[in-house]
A and B are shown apart, each in its own frame.
Chain A
Amino acid sequence: MMNVNFFSVSWQQGQEKLQTLYRKTKQAQHWTVVLAPYAWLFLFFLVPFILIAKISFSSAQIGIPPFSSIFEWSDHHLLQLRFNFTNYVVLLQDSFYGEAFASSLKIAGSSTFFCLILGYMMAYGISRAGEKWRIILLLLVVLPFWTSFLIRVYAWMSLLSTQGFINALLLKCGLISAPLQLLDNSFAVCIGIVYCYLPFMILPIYSTLEKMDQVYIEAAFDLGCTPWRAFWKITVPLSKPGIIAGCVLVFIPAIGEFVIPEILGGPDTLMIGRALWWEFFNNRDWPLACALAVAIVLIFVAPIMYFQRKQIQALEEGRE
């Protein structure tokens, strides 16, 4: 009796041991796969951001590197931390940065809005076309994306310039007597953003519209719904995930955009991406540039990432 009991216990223990061993080898296998991308991202993404946060608390100085250290060894062999909030105070007090944030928000917001309207119409049109046409139309949406971004911006620069085609045409028709100033303002920046980021709006909206079950629309029609009402009550709500994804994909790069305002916006169009660039390259005030980067992440990027995470979680829960 004793013996049998003893045997069964040790057999159980052995099985448990085997299971832990199996789990551990599994974990070890997992770690060999995860390690390389994990280490890479840690070293080249997380560490740089910690550095940005650190340098944003130091003050600018002339020398190499052009900022003071926030760690210092005091006389009693104690590590002193010196946090310097001057950069953040400057950001709050100097109206230049407030205006840059407001202007970025306005430009990015209105471009996202126009992108949404145009992108939704196009995505809707594509999802309604025949199967062969759909592939061709989608490829035509993606084609400009594969050409250079700078060249797409340049295309508008040469169209809108005072000697450009639009002004030349209007002058020839006699509609205007002197060339219009179409370039170097926030209007040109909006056009540039809409033009460059339109595919990012069309593709996610198209993928939700394409998956949509037409039965709902037919049911609505059968119940006497007008096409317009059916569109607003059924198609738009069902394509909400695509709309959100598209808006995030356009708004985020637009808010920190540097190239488009630099080329199409002239010297007076203020945007935060540009302000950061100026602080870094022209004023060589690295700590202030870092503080600006922290502010952009906290105000725009972090809330959007959080919001997106919630959306994905809600979607996954809905699926289960």
Chain B
Amino acid sequence: MRRTSYCGTVALITGYVFLYLPIVFLIFFSFNESRLPGIWSGFSTKWYHRLFENEDLIAAVLTSFQIAAMTATGAVILGTLAAVAMVRFGSFRGRTLFSGMISAPLVMPEVITGLALLLMFVSFERLIGWPSERGMMTVTIAHITLAMAYVCLIVQARLQDFDQSLEEAAQDLGARPLKVFFRITLPLIAPSLLAGWLLAFALSLDDVVIASFLSGPGATTLPILIFSSLRLGITPEINALATIIVGIVSVGVTIAGVIMVRKKGI
């Protein structure tokens, strides 16, 4: 018995207006002639032109995408291994420490994670001369540490969900553990791996605090660039950038939605 009550509808409308009104304004004023964010003074696409002429920005986008792709791949590999260990191995030696370490990045404030990793890289540099400079490599390592915790969470949920008798059947029929994993387990958890990869990619692409601690000259990511321009004030170029990002994300989410609705056969 599910019924939409009057109260529920009002709550939903209030909530979605709150969520979407700022975004709608952002998009609307990206086409504004004037620099002022509140007054409409005519249609113009000049902020988009400026955006595409901004070479620093294009370089930052490329850097961010590279870091995000490496992060997502690394995090999926390590996060999946961690999830398999957590769900399938029962209690192994050092499990308490392991489960603490894999869940701690989720609740650690970003400033602390960033600071901790920076101090470690500085000490490493003094001890063994690696890493000789901070840049894409150090940012990627930090992002993998954070993102693998999220991937582990997603894959863990999926591993707990599916029928383990499939794995047992394969083992009984003589398949080696590695073969069972690649032929049975992996295909079954593939959707959660994709979800984890996308989440890790988005996390990395969105992070400004950790990247600020760990990036060096020559490895300016998109969030670092946006953040430094926000500190200087409002500029409609950011509106234009936001409109493009919202556009891409909406297309992606719509496709995901259509697939989900079709799958459920509604």
Contacts and interface: CB of A to CB of B under 8 A. Distances in A.
Task: Please indicate which of the listed interface residues B84, B85, B94 has the most CB atoms of chain A within 10 Å of its own CB.
Answer: B85
Is chain B's interface secondary structure helix, strand, loop, or mixed overall? helix
A88 B9 CA distance: 51
A293 B78 CA distance: 27
B202 interface: yes
Given A161-B38, A255-B109, 14 more contacts: A34-B92, A41-B145, A44-B145, A45-B105, A48-B116, A52-B112, A128-B4, A143-B253, A150-B206, A155-B242, A158-B38, A263-B230, A286-B119, A290-B119
Interface residues of A, dominant DSSP: helix
B62 interface: no
A187 interface: no
15 contacts: A31-B92, A33-B81, A38-B98, A40-B78, A51-B116, A122-B11, A131-B264, A132-B261, A135-B260, A148-B245, A150-B223, A151-B242, A152-B23, A293-B112, A301-B108
B12 interface: yes
Given A52-B119, A163-B37, A293-B112, A137 B238 contact: no
A181 B109 CA distance: 29
A40 B38 contact: no
B22 A195 contact: yes
B147 to A, nearest CB: 12
Interface stretch (B13-21, B42-50, B51-59, B166-174): B13-21
Identify which of B9, B242, B252 gathers the most chain A CB atoms within 10 Å of its CB.
Answer: B242
Interface string B209-245: 1000000000000010011001100100011011001
Instruction: Identify the 8 closest CB pairs spanning chains A and B, nearest first.
Output: A256-B109, A168-B38, A48-B116, A121-B11, A155-B22, A158-B37, A125-B12, A125-B8
A47 B18 CA distance: 42
A48 B37 contact: no
B117 A48 contact: yes
B109 A252 contact: yes
Interface centre among B15, B25, B123 (most CB of A within 10 A): B15
Interface string A128-154: 111110011101111110111111111
Interface of B: 1-5, 8-9, 11-12, 14-16, 18-20, 22-23, 25-26, 29, 36-39, 77-79, 81-82, 84-85, 89, 92, 94, 97-98, 100-105, 107-112, 115-117, 119-120, 122-123, 126, 141-142, 144-145, 148, 152, 177, 202, 205-206, 208-209, 223, 226-227, 230-231, 234, 238-239, 241-242, 245-246, 249-250, 252-253, 256-257, 260-261, 264, 266
Interface in A184-225: 195, 198, 214, 218
Nearest to B8: A125
A239 to B, nearest CB: 15
A158 B26 contact: yes
A141 B19 contact: yes
Nearest to A158: B37
A265 interface: no
A259 interface: yes
Given A33-B81, A159-B25, A305 B209 contact: no
Interface of A: 27, 29-31, 33-34, 36-38, 40-42, 44-49, 51-52, 55, 65, 118, 121-122, 124-132, 135-137, 139-144, 146-159, 161, 163-169, 195, 198, 214, 218, 248, 252-253, 255-259, 262-263, 273, 276-277, 280, 286, 289-290, 293, 296-297, 301, 304-305, 308
Contacts of B111: 256, 258, 273, 276-277, 293
B109 A48 contact: no
B141 to A, nearest CB: 6
Contacts of B234: 154, 157-158, 161
Nearest to B227: A150
Contact of A37 (B1, B11, B102, B108): B102
A121 B260 CA distance: 24
A121 B15 contact: yes
B231 A263 contact: yes
A301 B38 contact: no
